[in-house]
Amino acid sequence: MNTIADTITVIQKELLETIHFPHEEVLSDAVLIQFRKYEAQRAMKLGNTYKDKVKVVFEDTEGIKMIETTVWGMTDNDLIFKRGMMVPLNRIHEIII
């Protein structure tokens, strides 16, 4: 049996500069979208307060990927990491704290 964990590619956050993100939302449930925003805010607080790393599972044009990093900020549309690297919120499946 295949699970989503079987299809995730773990990458280094430095590779985010080379990734192309489509504009479509990856989540279809409004409750999950709200929960993702809550988890993003929580990850940002943990990053800024304790320098804790989180795992961010997202989808680009090639498939599902994951990075482990510290979240430094967020906007209405993006999660921000060191060196201004970003992942669009609408491409994030899950934030694992």
Residue 4 gets which letter from DSSP? Answer: G
Q: Where are the alpha helices (DSSP H) in 4-93?
A: 30-50
Amino acid letter at 52? Answer: D
Which tokens is 62 given?
Answer: 């090639």
Give the span between the Cα atoms of 88 and 25, in whole angstroms: 10
Q: Are strands 78-80 and 86-88 parallel, antiparallel or unpaired?
A: antiparallel
Q: What is the pTM of this model?
A: 0.92
| 17-47 pLDDT, tens digit each | 999 999 999 999 999 999 999 999 999 999 9
Sheet arrangement for strand 92-96: 9-10, 64-69, 54-59, 92-96
Q: What's the pLDDT score for residue 66?
A: 97
Q: Render pLDDT for 44-80 as a digit per residue (tens, 0 to 9).
A: 999 999 999 999 999 999 999 999 999 999 999 999 9
pLDDT of 4: 57
Q: Which two tokens stand for residue 95?
A: 């934030």
Look at residue 77 in the predicted model and tell me its pLDDT.
Answer: 97
